[in-house]
Structure 1
Amino acid sequence: MDIDHEHANLVTSNAMVEESKKRCEAVMDTIETLPHLSLSCRHTLLRLIQSELSFLSRVSSSEFTTESEPSICVNIGHLESVVYILQQPNISGVSRVCKTIPFQPSTQNGTHNTASKGAHVDIVCTFDGNPVWIIVSDRNPEYLSWDGQQESSKNKGLRARAELLLEVAHNSIALKPTSLIFFFSNGLNRFTSEKFRTEFGAVDIGSKFSNFDINFSKELGGEWVDILARSYQDASVLEIKVDCPHDVSKESLVANPTVKSNDAYFGSSFGDIMSQMILPTNGKIHGDLINFDTTALIAIVSGISNGNRQKLLATPEDELKMRFKGNTEFVIGQVMSEIENPIHIDIGKVISGRKCIICESVSSEFKELVLMCGGVNEKLRADQLLQRLVVVPDSPSTRMMSLPTTRKLALKNKIVFGTGDYWHAPTLTANMGFVRAVLQTGMSLFTFEHRPRALTGD
């Protein structure tokens, strides 16, 4: 195994090697429990840990057989820290783990940029709704150098690493972060922390990371058993802002004049949804936003979500097939899903405390679909829903529009999700095919998933 000395720590005894092997096994099992982690990210982490475990197995059978026990480099502490961060509740949209972000070198006077090979980033994701790169170090603070060894190609120091990351970040488009987050699991000395603050404007965000004590678990006999406890109480977490040309001020988002602030009675769970949508004050939007795509609007007004379940189940099969054609099984599946888990409850949890926006494209598409396929009640609910939403211009973010337009990355979806990205608002959607396609490009995206619902002519 090629040990990454920038992350590695030393072990000096066979007992420590065996402990490291147990840590590898525990972290591998924990990775399997991580929700919403893509298969590619999961595969990368498991491959790295399996490689570490194989390395430790070779060492334990050979190198610690004499009285002179050499020191060896292990990397499991770094991988533990990465997995710890992935469990944080404000982390979402993880698109890459433990990868090099490529850099297209600029050439000036025939000289290639020093960042031409890119920079290693441990996690590309969204943090508190914003795209970020997270860099993790598990090294002892005593061995972390600010200036590094200028003659060394492997250790240029933390200053040079921060400069490289900022350079790569500035020249990225689709993967461009709003900030770099440095996570030092064993802390930093005062000198280094101060250098980060004075030279890069770094701020301490350790308070945003919860549960600094963590247990890594292993499945034994059908039950999960904690076999390793680790504390991150001494961790130091610093954020460096990346200068972005786009910095949205929600002060500039003026409410659609059709948005009504009166407390109309809507009835049942639909009324509960309406009451949880926070309306603008003084004609302008402040606070957290959420962006709806067309699937979310349809799910809210659908007869399936609004008490029409038993009527559909009681409808003869021939009539259902005539009405829904080849989508009959799909609709019945949604009915059964609604009986087991009403969707308004799930959507209410997501939108609570947020102001709701849609872009002009979604507004037009939703109105057209309701006009063609909606029943009297669905049309009435659609009108009431639109009165509670703020319609913003189609304004997709630069990074979203930098992605190639393909069958899986359709332009209309790039506009909808990109507008949410522009306003730093997560998009509520059932279109997880598009979300997966975006994540596969390496770009992080902040979304909430809901189960699909169809218009039923109710």
Structure 2
Amino acid sequence: MDAPPQPCAADSELELARARCGALHGRLAASPDLPRHPALRSLLRLVTAELGFLASAPRPDPAAPLSSNLPHLAALHLLLTHPAVRSPSRLAPRPGVDFACAFRGRPAWALVSASNPARLAWAPRGGLRARVAAVLDAACGAPPATRPEKLLLAFSRGVGADVALGLAEGFGAVETDLLAEFVGVSEDGNEEGWVAVSFNASEEMRSFRAFVIDVVEGAGEVLLPPEATVAEGSHDEEVPLGFEGAFGAFVGKMWRESRELVNLDTTALVAIVSGISNGGVGELMAAPEAVTRARFKCNYKFVMDQVIWK
């Protein structure tokens, strides 16, 4: 009687992938953000398809690595649910871009890689350098309403020294710490002034390396016509922006006291005109900065600028 076939390493790899994909599917399906999160809904469909592929995959060839999109899907999930990532778009809004979002309060396009660093090519044609250059060109040529200020490149398994150097020298990329938002400071500091910190990030996030590239130097600076500029030494004068009355005075103060572009959407304009946005100025100014930042998150500066302008 023939002995039953012994499980090989390839079988174990497939079973592990099935288990991990099932766990990811369960987390996505149970997420309370799923109904209002188009990117997570798109990701759930991709994970469902990948789970079906892995469930029906034949016994793999021991000599060949398992071919699966699971690492990339898992990296997307980690980045989409990162505290610094807000309002992500649907997945793959344009070629080469995984999703658009607000990263730490600034419009950004995200590029996610789950490739083995040893196999991540930089210089050859079709390598990472070409992809980054193509996305950067697309970002610079995008309409102002959809143009990002930053490119966020996230590598879930790290990167080699050649890639990090190429990003820095070729595109002015700056490495950023994705664990920064996970640091919690305890209230029980000791007499020497030391405080304890704790990390709530998953183990997978610890292997991430991320880089940020500015799409346009000085992005976010308001560009006004020549007649709207303020002459040196005349900062106390009204800025002739072409608006009259109280609203003109408001815009003039906005230009003098804040150089960041503000999107005056309908909600903000209604709040400005009606004055309801300033009903709690005293309470906002009296609250500790940490409390206000936790309350308004990426809108903190906009809210505080309204208080100052008033």
- What is the TM-score with the length of structure 1 in the denominator? 0.45
In the other structure, the counterpart of 1:185 is 156
Contact 1:203 1:239 in 2 (8 A): yes
For residue 48 of structure 2, the aligned residue among 24, 47, 50 is 50
Displacement, 1:179?
Answer: 1.4
Question: 1:285 and 1:159, CA in 2 relative to 1: closer, same or farther beyond 3 A?
Answer: closer
What is the aligned residue count?
Answer: 247
Displacement, 1:160?
Answer: 0.7
For residue 145 of structure 1, the aligned residue among 111, 116, 121 is 121
In the other structure, the counterpart of 1:170 is 140
Q: Which amino acid aligns with 1:17?
A: L
Give, in whole Å, the separation in 1 of the partners of 2:128 and 2:208.
16
Displacement, 1:177?
Answer: 1.1
The alignment status of 1:90 with 2:84, answered yes or no, reads yes
Give, in whole Å, the separation in 2 of the partners of 1:176 and 1:390.
27
Give, in whole Å, the separation in 2 of the partners of 1:285 and 1:56.
53
Question: 1:41 and 1:71, CA in 2 relative to 1: closer, same or farther beyond 3 A?
Answer: same
For residue 169 of structure 2, the aligned residue among 198, 217, 223 is 198
Question: 1:300 and 1:128, CA in 2 relative to 1: closer, same or farther beyond 3 A?
Answer: same
The alignment status of 1:72 with 2:66, answered yes or no, reads yes
In the other structure, the counterpart of 1:20 is 17
The alignment status of 1:241 with 2:214, answered yes or no, reads yes
The alignment status of 1:355 with 2:304, answered yes or no, reads yes
Displacement, 1:142?
Answer: 0.2
> Deviations 1:132-163 (Å, cap 9, x if unpaired)?
11101111100001123x4xxxxx11111111
Contact 1:37 1:94 in 2 (8 A): no
Contact 1:145 1:157 in 2 (8 A): yes
Contact 2:25 2:44 in 1 (8 A): yes
Give, in whole Å, the separation in 1 of the partners of 2:173 and 2:98.
19
Q: Which amino acid aligns with 1:144?
A: L
In the other structure, the counterpart of 2:249 is none
Matches within 5 A, 1:20-39: 20-32=17-29, 33=31, 35=33, 38=36
Relative contact order, higher structure (CA 8 A, sep 6+): 1
Give, in whole Å, the separation in 2 of the partners of 1:300 and 1:20.
56
The alignment status of 1:125 with 2:98, answered yes or no, reads no
In the other structure, the counterpart of 2:59 is 63
Question: 1:34 and 1:78, CA in 2 relative to 1: closer, same or farther beyond 3 A?
Answer: farther
Give, in whole Å, the separation in 2 of the partners of 1:136 and 1:23.
19
Displacement, 1:298?
Answer: 9.7
Question: 1:134 and 1:349, CA in 2 relative to 1: closer, same or farther beyond 3 A?
Answer: same
Give, in whole Å, the separation in 1 of the partners of 2:215 and 2:71.
28
In the other structure, the counterpart of 1:293 is 268
Question: 1:53 and 1:195, CA in 2 relative to 1: closer, same or farther beyond 3 A?
Answer: same
> Deviations 1:260-290 (Å, cap 9, x if unpaired)?
xxxxxxxxxxxxxxxxxxxx89x62478989
Question: 1:300 and 1:78, CA in 2 relative to 1: closer, same or farther beyond 3 A?
Answer: farther
Contact 1:125 1:133 in 2 (8 A): yes
Contact 1:179 1:240 in 2 (8 A): yes
- For 1:124, what is the secondary structure of its paired residue? strand
Question: 1:289 and 1:28, CA in 2 relative to 1: closer, same or farther beyond 3 A?
Answer: same
Q: Which amino acid aligns with 1:349?
A: R
In the other structure, the counterpart of 1:216 is none
Q: Which amino acid aligns with 2:174?
A: V
* TM-align CA RMSD: 4.2
Give, in whole Å, the separation in 2 of the partners of 1:34 and 1:163.
37
> Structure 2: which 5+ residue stretches go unaligned?
1-7, 184-201, 224-228, 239-244, 247-252, 281-290
- For 1:248, what is the secondary structure of its paired residue? coil
- What is the TM-score with the length of structure 2 in the denominator? 0.64
Higher Rg: 1
Q: Which amino acid aligns with 1:232?
A: M
Q: Which amino acid aligns with 1:390?
A: W
Contact 2:158 2:207 in 1 (8 A): yes
Greater strand fraction, Structure 1 or Structure 2: 1
Contact 2:179 2:206 in 1 (8 A): no
- For 2:257, what is the secondary structure of its paired residue? coil
Contact 1:290 1:355 in 2 (8 A): no
Q: Which amino acid aligns with 1:129?
A: G
In the other structure, the counterpart of 2:286 is none
Contact 1:289 1:355 in 2 (8 A): no
Give, in whole Å, the separation in 2 of the partners of 1:348 and 1:137.
30
Give, in whole Å, the separation in 2 of the partners of 1:203 and 1:346.
28
Displacement, 1:87?
Answer: 1.6
Displacement, 1:84?
Answer: 0.8
> Structure 1: which 5+ residue stretches go unaligned?
1-10, 102-118, 151-155, 213-228, 259-279, 307-344, 358-387, 392-458
